[in-house]
Amino acid sequence: MNAHVLANVATTIAMKQTPAGLDGLIAGETAISTLDHGLHYRGYALEDLVRNATYTEVAYLLLRGELPTTEALADFRAILAEAAEVPAAVVQLLQELPLHIAPIDALRTAISALAHFDEQANETDDTANLGKAIRLLGQVPVLIAARHRLTRGEELAGSDPELSFAGNFLSMLTGQIPTARDERALEQSLICYADLEFNASTFTARIVASTGSDLHSAITAGVGALKGPLHGGANEDVLDLLLSVESASQAEKFVRDAIAKKRRLAGFGHRIYRDRTDPRAVVLKDICSDLATTDEQRRLEEIADAIEAAMWSHKQLRPNVDWPTARLYRMLGLDAELFTPLFAAARVAGWSAHVLEQQRDNRLITPRAKYVGPPPRALLPLRER
């Protein structure tokens, strides 16, 4: 057989073997993060970063490839603080969106609108992309906090450059300076959400970037993918699930009933971490335990532990990152509708790093599809059909 025929045969075999949802299929290369042997960002174990780094350091690592020096970190923080301004027209847009619009939808719209005010919006070279990424990193928390407070008739809380990324974020959301404990807990959750290889929203952003489109378009697309309940939107469903169980003693029956009704429980199972525990869930579970100081919080932890045990006993499913995060954010006093936007704010660093990586050595992402429709057939004239 000639080379052309061999290539067609190889393509046919590959298409027949393509798993549903592209599970486990290698779709490209990245130097940003890997799920092999746990979770590593640029070679650093997630656990080490959560214990010893700030989210700002991790964002710098993802975007630039190395952890910052003291001087580089100070410069980066100064640039982020300067970037934490949103054009008045975008704030006005946030105010005029209908009240029933979910915060994640408002965020998607606002990020797209920001492009119109960025002088480098349509530039796709490395320097321009990095500048836009850093600006977005500083602006997204402002957008989320502004929409949150505007819908409640509250005055906007200004950005405080003296606070950490997480501390400033909490301060803008609540209007109060957070405790060191709450600030660190949010910081650690943001680190856990910062990147996860070729997940659905990241791959979406890379596909957009591969067309030569701009960074704002790619990030907007990423937010759209994150909204779905099978990806980022699951963390809101987790809290509803937990609050529907009154005590730990009811967990076993709750899980058995859900299984009997073929109901999928949010917060359990992961496409990659199937035979091992999501390392982010392990780290954040310990943080939740430390945060739980009231009777209500400790009761919620007991319920969560009991549901975890029942899910493992009956379905051999372990929790994913959304399972502890929902409790953590509730303990920080945050509304459930903010859970997915918080995820997005953290993931801006990862999405942007992938857009930069994609466009540095770009090739248009154009997968094939396995056709399962009718075979070739003759077109009959209208009068004969």
Whether residue 167 is found in the same domain as residue 191: yes
Q: Which domain holds residue 314?
A: 235-331
Does 318 map to a domain?
A: yes
Mean pLDDT value across residues 267-283: 76
Mean pLDDT value across residues 125-129: 95
- Interatomic CA distance for residues 236 and 48, integer angstroms: 27
Which residue among the candidates 118, 270, 278, 354 is catalytic per the annotation?
A: 270
322 is annotated as an active-site residue: yes
pLDDT at 333 over 70: yes
CATH number of the domain where residue 262 is located: 1.10.230.10
CATH number of the domain where residue 179 is located: 1.10.580.10
CB 133 within 8 A of CB 355: yes
pLDDT the model gives residue 275: 59
CB 227 within 8 A of CB 235: no
pLDDT the model gives residue 9: 38
pLDDT at 281 over 70: yes
pLDDT the model gives residue 272: 62
pLDDT the model gives residue 134: 96
pLDDT the model gives residue 23: 66
Mean pLDDT of the chain: 91
pLDDT at 15 over 70: no
SS3 268: strand
Cβ-based neighbours of 259, under 8 Å, separated by 6 or more? 314, 315
pLDDT at 330 over 80: yes
Does 258 map to a domain?
A: yes
Mean pLDDT value across residues 339-366: 96
Whether residue 221 is found in the same domain as residue 282: no
270 is annotated as an active-site residue: yes
pLDDT the model gives residue 21: 63
Whether residue 226 is found in the same domain as residue 240: no
pLDDT the model gives residue 12: 45
Whether residue 153 is found in the same domain as residue 242: no
Does 50 map to a domain?
A: yes
Nearest Cα neighbor of 230 from 197, 255, 201 is 201
pLDDT the model gives residue 270: 60
- How many Cβ atoms are within 10 Å of 364's Cβ, its own excluded? 8
As a whole-number percent, the residues of the chain with pLDDT over 70 amount to 91
Does 6 map to a domain?
A: no
CB 319 within 8 A of CB 278: yes
- Interatomic CA distance for residues 239 and 241, integer angstroms: 5
Whether residue 62 is found in the same domain as residue 202: yes
pLDDT at 11 over 70: no
Cα-to-chain-centroid distance, residue 1: 47
Residue type for 232, please?
G
Does 29 map to a domain?
A: no
Mean pLDDT value across residues 216-243: 89
Cβ-based neighbours of 305, under 8 Å, separated by 6 or more? 248
pLDDT per position as a tens digit, 166-193: 999 999 999 999 999 999 999 999 999 9
Question: 3-state secondary structure string, 32-79?
Answer: CEECCCCCEECCEEHHHHHHHCCHHHHHHHHHHCCCCCHHHHHHHHHH
Mean pLDDT value across residues 12-20: 57
Number of compact structural domains in the chain = 2
- Write out the two tokens for 184: 């660190």
- Interatomic CA distance for residues 314 and 84, integer angstroms: 48
Whether residue 201 is found in the same domain as residue 293: no
Which residue among the candidates 118, 195, 214, 322 is catalytic per the annotation?
A: 322
pLDDT at 3 over 60: no
Whether residue 224 is found in the same domain as residue 272: no
Does 385 map to a domain?
A: no
As a whole-number percent, the residues of the chain with pLDDT over 90 amount to 81
Whether residue 222 is found in the same domain as residue 287: no
User: With left for phi above 0 and alpha for psi between -120 and 50, is residue 206 left, alpha or beta?
Assistant: alpha
Whether residue 65 is found in the same domain as residue 208: yes
pLDDT at 8 over 80: no
Whether residue 131 is found in the same domain as residue 199: yes
Cβ-based neighbours of 58, under 8 Å, separated by 6 or more? 41, 49, 191, 194, 349
Whether residue 190 is found in the same domain as residue 98: yes
Mean pLDDT value across residues 305-329: 93
Whether residue 215 is found in the same domain as residue 110: yes
Does 374 map to a domain?
A: no
pLDDT the model gives residue 228: 83
Strand partners, 268: 319
Burial group, residue 148, by CB count within 10 angstroms (0-12, 13-18, 19+): buried
pLDDT at 50 over 90: yes
Does 186 map to a domain?
A: yes
Instruction: Name residue, tokens 């007991």.
Output: 302
Which letter does DSSP use for residue 176 in this model? Answer: S
